Chains A and B, each alone.
Chain A
Amino acid sequence: MTVTEQGLLERDKDTMTLNMGPQHPSTHGVFRVVLEMDGEVVLSAVPEIGYLHTGIEKSSENKRYVHVIPMTDRLDYLNPPGNNLAFCLTTEKLLQVEIPGRAQYIRVIMCELTRIASHLLWLGTHALDIGAMTVFLYAWREREMILDLNEMISGVRMMTSFIRIGGVAKDATPEWIQGTRKFIDYFPEKIDEYESLLTKNPIWMDRTQEVGVFSKEQALDWSFSGPCLRASGVDFDFRKKRPYSGYENFRFEVPVGKNGDIYDRYRCRIQEMRESREIIKQALDALPDDGYKIPDNKISLPPRNTLKTSMEALIHHFKLVSEGIKVPAGETYVPTEGPRGEVGFYIVSDGSNVPYRVKLRAPSFMASPGMCHMMTGHFIADVVGIIGSVDIVMGEVDR
């Protein structure tokens, strides 16, 4: 219940306008919100975005499809493989190609690892916002391992750009598979450790329960997606409802909350980390062996060693590198489930080697007005809690 609803506060006309951000320790990047305050209570909150405008959508119109992939990494910088995947899936749908199982599974493993990493970052910063400092560093410790795994497979820790049109950039090495196995065996007890610091902690419960409540209807009205939507009690997950990239092959639960408060969002995400671990485990166990990219050399580069012996391979290589992939004219959209919600690219192709228009459906952008609505009637201390619980990433809000 908000403070104004409880009738704890007598309203008077003297209010204070407080500018929070873009330089503020806990607005998660360069988010700015202008708060109308009555004492410590927020009367209205107006979001101001645009401080991290990169023009990625526009620059995509001048870049070949393959060249767009590294830019998608920088949109939601906590979910690079997820963005790569969303872009590649859409392009592949336009190209009407079928991706080999191994590539799909590697993609899933990378995306789920990144989901864990993203949730760990969320957990750490969210707990830090509420004042629990230690959880932050514990979460960082495990995130570091995921980044090491990323480096092992792609050579880059964060902006992997590993998922390519037609598959993935390289095959998964045995070392990486072994490292991932080691990580998922080690990880569950660490989740218990975070939970031991927070879940039953009276101060944590006090700070998060019945704060920032969004009902089922409100969450749908304000176009929430992902964990925020599920915490409000809507059982919706694209991995289940419209499976892509082989998600239909894995058994996992979709955690759903009840009250739609900060605490439920916290519980949902914690549970999601456990489920992601399950998915990775199953994917590693059932990793097929049918190639990490499609054999069609008009879309994916021919193997390096064939270049010196095969004329055709050389020509394909030259054409692909100099001209890029020609995508048939059309427009399409493939929704995927990112750590923050529905991520998808709407791509319009005019048949050339550069997209005519690329539009990102960014969950953080869609959630930010609802988030500010949520702040109304709460204390300023809850504002940072709400920002943290919705988990916005400015990179995809301003794009």
Chain B
Amino acid sequence: MIDTVTQFLSDNVGLIVGAVKAAVIAVALLSSVPILVWLERRLMGRFQVRLGPNRVGPFGLGQPFADAVKLLFKESIIQGSADKFLFFLAPAVVVFTAIVTFSAIPFGASFTLFGQEIGPHVANINVGLLFVFAISSMGIYGIVLAGLASNNKYSLMGGLRSSAQMISYELTLGLAALGVIIVSGSLNLVEIVEDQSVVPNIILQPLAFILFFTAGIAETNRAPFDLPEAEQELVAGFHTEYTGMKFAMFFMGEYVNMITMSAMVTVLFLGGWNAYIFEFMVPPVIGPIIVFASKVFILLCVFIWLRSTFPRIRYDRLMTFGWKVLLPLAVLNLMVSGFIKVVL
């Protein structure tokens, strides 16, 4: 009996390690959402000369958990005119895609544990970049479905805006990333990071970085591109009709997407877990993950900073900006990068 189990385990080491990693990463990602919410509220508070949550637990750290408990126990209201199945499906799609996207992102250097080489990523896919784009663009289905299923005009407009916005900005996102691929010569995210061990791509591809980050903000529906849920115009956009945990899932999806987008920027442009001049300070094994997390943290703070500074851009201007400014610049960047690569 024991032999069979041991045999099974040794035959399927890859599977078990993968499953454990997937579980750890999913849990870590989901539990970082409340902390990110807390961080956002505290930082926004500081930007806006107020305190932010500071009552529940030390520094108000318990606040997002209290909110989560509250949301769990809220009455789930579905209005009669809604399409029940799609109404339930939409938030699930958003959270699912948000978490799955992260599976391809490597967030630390490989290390050896119990004789097994373990890379801190669920899957080291050789077309990792494509995988991330493919899955993350699926998340928009959740938003469109939410808008459609709610049977509410404001929700519908939120969903429509969202689909137009995502399609427009995904092009820029992809083209900006192509610049990185030209430099690195690989679609594998681990190889892209390792390629940056001397110089991060932000120096080689500064324009692509700006384009990618801008389009990334739009892609995650964050201010100043938060049109799908523009509170002052569309009440709450696509999630107007959602209550309780279903609303919380949209919320979670948005924050996980923020983390994923920051992680992508880190991988593609900021050199992943390479610490460069701070290399001497990095402890072994856990060190690279800390380096990676710090870079993601800084980017998340930038997200929050932008939200508290800028007014919301208008829908038509968003389209103009995406198609007439960002996209041509991305194409230009691609052409120049390609030219340099071929000539040099």
Listed in ascending order, the chain A residues whose CB lies under 8 Å from chain B are 3, 8, 16, 18, 24-26, 40, 127-134, 136-138, 141, 197-198, 201, 203-204, 206-207, 379-384
Q: Pick from B44-52, B81-89, B274-282, B335-343 the stretch touching chain A.
A: B44-52
* Beyond A207-B312, A380-B233, A384-B232, 12 extra complex contacts between A and B, CB < 8 Å: A3-B316, A25-B232, A127-B311, A131-B311, A133-B308, A134-B47, A134-B308, A203-B312, A206-B313, A381-B227, A381-B230, A384-B233
Query: Known contacts A18-B153, A40-B315; is A133 also within 8 Å of B48 by CB?
Result: yes
Q: A24-B235, A26-B232, A131-B224 are in contact. Are A381 and B308 (CB under 8 A)?
A: no
Chain B residues, CB < 8 A from A3: 316
Contact at A207–B314, with CB atoms within 8 Å? yes
Show 25 A/B contacts (Cβ-Cβ < 8 Å), sorted by A.
Answer: A3-B316, A8-B316, A25-B235, A26-B231, A26-B233, A40-B161, A40-B315, A40-B316, A128-B232, A129-B232, A130-B232, A130-B311, A130-B312, A131-B224, A131-B226, A132-B309, A132-B310, A137-B49, A198-B311, A204-B311, A206-B313, A207-B317, A379-B314, A381-B312, A381-B314
B residues less than 8 Å from A128 (CB atoms): 232
CA distance A382 to B233 in the complex (A): 9
A131 and B232 contacting across the interface, CB-CB below 8 Å: yes
Do A201 and B157 form a contact, CB below 8 Å, given A130-B232, A137-B49, A384-B233?
no
How many residue pairs link A and B with beta carbons under 8 A? The number is 85
Residue of A nearest to B154 (CB): A18
Among B153, B230, B231, B314, chain A packs the most CB atoms within 10 A around the CB of B314
Please report the C-alpha to C-alpha distance between residue A129 and residue B314 in the assembled complex, in whole angstroms.
12
Considering the complex, give the chain A residue whose CB is closest to the CB of B45. A137
Cα-based distance from A379 to B233 in the complex (angstroms): 10
Chain B residues whose CB sits within 8 angstroms of the CB of A382 once the complex forms: 314
Which residues does chain A contribute within 8 Å of B154, judged by CB atoms?
18
B265 contacts A by Cβ under 8 Å: no
CA–CA, A129 and B308, complex, Å: 14
Residue in B closest to A130 when the chains form the complex, CB atoms: B311
Residues of B within 8 A of A384 (CB): 232-233
Bound form: Cα–Cα A133–B314 in Å: 16
Query: Do A381 and B48 touch (CB < 8 A)?
Result: no
| A138 smallest CB distance to B (angstroms) | 7
Closest 4 CB pairs of A and B: A131-B312, A132-B311, A137-B48, A26-B232
Question: Does B105 reach chain A (CB closer than 8 Å)?
Answer: no
Which residues from chain A contact B161 at a C-beta distance below 8 Å? 40
- Whether A381 pairs with B311 at a CB distance below 8 angstroms is no
Please give, as numbers and ranges, the residues of chain A lying within 8 Å of B166 by CB-CB distance. Answer: none
Chain B residues near A138 (CB-CB < 8 A): 48-49
Q: What chain A residues lie within 8 Å of B153 (beta carbons)?
A: 16, 18
A130: which B residues are within 8 A, CB to CB? 232, 311-312
In the bound complex, residues from chain B placing their C-beta under 8 Å from that of A206 are 313-314, 317
Assembly CA distance A136 to B47 (angstroms): 12
When chains A and B are docked, how far (Å) is the Cα of A130 from the Cα of B235? 13
Task: Tell me which residues from 234 to 288 in chain B have a Cβ below 8 Å from any Cβ of chain A.
Answer: 234-235
Complex Cα spacing A364 to B154, Å:
27
Tell me the minimal C-beta distance from A268 to chain B in angstroms: 19
Of all chain B residues, which has the CB nearest A41?
A: B316
CB nearest to B233 among chain A residues: A381
When distances are taken between beta carbons in the complex, the residues of chain A under 8 Å from B21 are: none
Contact between B315 and A134, CB atoms less than 8 A apart: no
Q: A136 CA to B311 CA in the complex, in Å?
A: 11
| Chain B residues positioned under 8 Å from A201 (CB to CB) | 310-311
B307 interface residue (CB < 8 Å to A): yes
CA distance A197 to B49 in the complex (A): 15
Could you say which residues of chain A place their CB within 8 Å of the CB of B235?
24-25
* Contact among B226, B311, B315 with A379 in the assembled complex (CB-CB below 8 Å): B315
B223 within 8 A of A: yes
Kindly list chain A residues whose C-beta atoms are within 8 Å of the C-beta of B47: 134
Whether A131 pairs with B223 at a CB distance below 8 angstroms is yes
Knowing A131-B232, A132-B310, A197-B309 are in contact, say whether A381-B315 is a contact too (CB < 8 A). yes
Cα of A137 to Cα of B44 in the assembled complex, Å: 11
Most chain-B Cβ atoms within 10 A of its Cβ — which of A18, A133, A204, A380?
A: A133
Q: In this complex, which of A3, A128, A131, A207 has the most chain B Cβ atoms within 10 angstroms of its Cβ?
A: A131
Question: Which parts of B312-327 form the interface with A (CB within 8 Å)?
Answer: 312-317
CA–CA, A382 and B224, complex, Å: 16
A-chain residues with CB within 8 Å of residue B224 when the two chains form the complex: 131, 203
Taking CB atoms, residues of chain A closer than 8 Å to B234 are 380
CB pair B232–A137 under 8 Å, yes or no, is no
- Does A203 contact B313, Cβ atoms closer than 8 Å? yes
Chain B residue with the shortest CB-CB distance to A380 = B233
Q: Are A141 and B49 in contact (CB under 8 A)?
A: yes
Q: How close is B121's CB to chain A, nearest CB, in angstroms?
A: 36
Q: How far is the CA of A134 from the CA of B227 in the complex (A)?
A: 18
Task: Please tell me if the beta carbons of A379 and B316 are within 8 angstroms of each other in the complex.
Answer: yes
The interface residues of chain A lying within 8 Å CB-to-CB of B307 are: 133
Q: Mark B24-54, 1 if CB is under 8 A from A, else 0.
A: 0000000000000000000010011110000
Q: How far is it, in angstroms, between the C-alpha of A204 and the C-alpha of B309 when the chains are bound?
A: 11
> CB < 8 Å: which of B233, B309, B312, B313 contacts A134?
B309
Per-position binary interface string of chain B over residues 295-307, scored 1 when its CB falls under 8 Å from any chain A CB and 0 otherwise: 0000000000001
* Cβ distance B204 to chain A, nearest Cβ, rounded Å: 28
State the CA gap A206–B316 with chains docked (Å). Answer: 11
Kindly list chain A residues whose C-beta atoms are within 8 Å of the C-beta of B313: 131, 203, 206-207
* Residues of B109-148 whose CB lies within 8 A of A: none
What is the CA–CA distance of A137 and B308 in the complex, to the nearest angstrom? 11
CB distance from A213 to the nearest CB of B (A): 15
